[in-house]
Amino acid sequence: MSSSPKSNQVTHIDVRSIMEVLPHRYPMLLIDRIIELEPQKRAVGYKNVTFNEPFFTGHFPNNPVMPGVLIIEAMAQLGGAAILEPKSQTTTVPYLAGVDKVKFRRPVIPGDRLMMEVDVIWIRMNIGRLRAEARVGDQPVCSGELAFSMVSDTRLFRLDASILHN
Concatenated DSSP letters for 131-160? EEEEEETTEEEEEEEEEEEEEE-GGGG-TT
59 is annotated as an active-site residue: yes
pLDDT at 93: 85
- For residue 141, what pLDDT band results from cuts at 50, 70 and 90? very high
pLDDT at 152: 84
CA distance 93 to 20: 12
Catalytic-role residue among 12, 24, 59, 165? 59
pLDDT at 164: 42
CA distance 71 to 141: 9
pLDDT digits (tens, 9 = 90+) for 96-138: 999 999 999 999 999 999 999 999 999 999 999 999 999 999 9
pLDDT digits (tens, 9 = 90+) for 56-66: 999 999 999 99
CATH of domain 13-165: 3.10.129.10
pLDDT digits (tens, 9 = 90+) for 20-75: 888 899 999 999 999 999 999 999 999 999 999 999 999 999 999 999 999 999 99
Task: Identify whether the C-beta of residue 130 lies closer than 8 Å to the C-beta of residue 121.
Answer: yes
